[in-house]
């Protein structure tokens, strides 16, 4: 797991969200944007496979999409610390017990629901933007400042710039070394 950036709301709230690259030999990610077996953390509801993946990496099987105003049935979630409600035809809210709400939409239709925004309990809202409906391009804070910027070359993630204290950016470079896009190194200057 390679942490690319962490979203912290201002104030005394003790809640955050990590944006990270994770590796799994069993990964079903076929996008190819991150290398074989690698995926970027994102809350996503894939209707084709009836699976819900949370930004934390947890995966659950679900029943079909409920009607507007209904709650998604998560088959194998034993704790009731997250609820998914269908707010509109193409909008879902993933509501966590600590008060954080992830607003999901479809950056490309048809396609999976992905995070379009995160609303923290203190009212801060962070917006996610996607590159032509595909991979995550950047995350903006409530003031419109870029907090995480992802750079792709030939469809592969090669760099992540995360805003840190003082308005500076911490850069992570991702290197690929073979024809199968296997990740061979990550450098953090």
Give the tens place of pLDDT for each residue, 92-124: 999 999 889 999 999 887 889 999 999 998 889
Q: Where are the beta strands (DSSP E) in 27-135?
A: 38-40, 44-46, 51-53, 59-61, 82-88, 91-96, 101-105, 113-119, 125-130
The percentage of the chain sitting over the pLDDT mark of 70, rounded to a whole number, equals: 89
pTM: 0.85
3-state SS, residue 38 = strand
Closest CA to 130 of 140, 120, 121, 122: 140
| Mean pLDDT, residues 73-92 | 89
Residue 24 burial (CB count, 10 A): 11
In this prediction, residue 130 carries a pLDDT of 93
Question: What is the chain's mean pLDDT, rounded?
Answer: 86
């Amino acid at each position: 797991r390679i942490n690319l950036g962490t979203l912290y709301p201002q104030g005394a709230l003790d809640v955050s969200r990590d944006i990270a690259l994770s590796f799994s030999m069993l990964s079903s990610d076929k996008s190819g944007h991150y290398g074989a077996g690698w995926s970027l953390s994102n809350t996503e509801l894939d209707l084709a496979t009836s699976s819900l993946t949370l930004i934390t990496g947890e995966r659950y099987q679900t029943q079909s999409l409920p009607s507007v105003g209904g709650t998604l049935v998560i088959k194998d979630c034993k704790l009731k610390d997250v609820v998914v409600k269908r707010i509109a035809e193409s909008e879902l809210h993933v509501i966590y017990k600590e008060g954080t709400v992830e607003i999901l939409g479809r950056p490309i239709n048809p396609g999976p629901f992905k995070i379009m925004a995160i609303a923290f309990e203190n009212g801060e809202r962070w917006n996610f933007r996607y590159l032509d409906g595909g991979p995550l391009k950047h995350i903006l804070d409530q003031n419109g400042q870029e907090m995480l910027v992802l750079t792709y070359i030939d469809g592969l993630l090669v760099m992540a710039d995360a805003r840190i204290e003082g308005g500076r950016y911490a850069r992570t470079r991702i290197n690929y070394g073979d024809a199968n896009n296997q990740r061979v190194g990550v450098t953090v200057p």
